[in-house]
Amino acid sequence: MRTFFIADTHFGDADIIRYENRPFADTDDMEEKLIAGWNETVGEDDNVFVLGDFSAYKSVGRNTELACRLNGHKSLILGNHDIVTEDFWYRCGFEFVSRYPIIYEGFWILSHEPVYVCRNMPYANIFGHVHGSQLYKDYSEQSYCVSVERTDYRPVPFDEIVEKVTNNRK
């Protein structure tokens, strides 16, 4: 069993294709390619943390259908576009939902938006929200961005994140 991270899938959001110049013809194409990339990467028994902005769909039924097509046990840290209640996302099939950032394995702050972490703090941040913005690095000694535009539109294995952040700290 492995753990993966992803953010900003924005299933069903046609505007994000234009805003971020995503390489998809339309939302159906984006959905199928995101699901294919996810399932090629993640196994049935793996864990996946979605760090916000999962879907633009507003119905439990549509989001449940999407979640059921995605491999793994899914947890969601709500993003600025995930405007419905935590209970809504539980009903869609997420096993854990948090409106706030959480600490993972005592060192990693999991959040939708980047949080300020300086060298004197005993944490690193895994985040999304910034998409392809040039103002942020893909990763540094204190952070790793898992917005899909930076991850080939698929979840990133935790061990890869640990390796890149750790190597950058040396």
Q: How far apart are CA 145 and CA 54, in angstroms?
A: 15
Answer left, alpha or beta for residue 32, where phi above 0 means left and psi between -120 and 50 means alpha. Answer: alpha
Contact 27, 166 (CB under 8 A): no
Helix axes 60-69, 27-41, angle to 10 degrees: 40
Q: Please, how many CA atoms are within 13 Å of residue 6, restricted to the half-sphere of its CB? A: 30
CA 114 – CA 112 distance, rounded (Å):
7
Q: Which domains does the chain have, with CATH numbers?
A: 3-169 (3.60.21.10)
What was the pLDDT predicted at 22? 98
Task: State whether residue 169 is helix, strand or coil.
Answer: helix
Say what the pTM is: 0.95
* Residue spans of alpha helices (H) in the chain: 14-19, 27-41, 60-69, 86-91, 158-169
CA 124, CA 32: separation in Å to the nearest integer?
A: 32
| Mean pLDDT (10-residue bins), the chain, 170 residues | 98 97 98 99 99 96 97 98 91 97 97 91 94 87 96 98 86
Mark 40-66 as b/e (b = at least 16 C-beta within 10 Å): ebbeeebbbbbbbbbbbbeebeebbeb
Q: What is the pLDDT of residue 17?
A: 98
Strand order in the sheet with 47-50: 96-98, 73-77, 47-50, 3-6, 156-157
Report whether 17 contacts 29 (CB < 8 A): no
Tell me what pLDDT residue 170 has. Answer: 64
Amino acid (1-letter code) at residue 141: E
Contact 123, 117 (CB under 8 A): yes
So what's the pLDDT on residue 63? 96
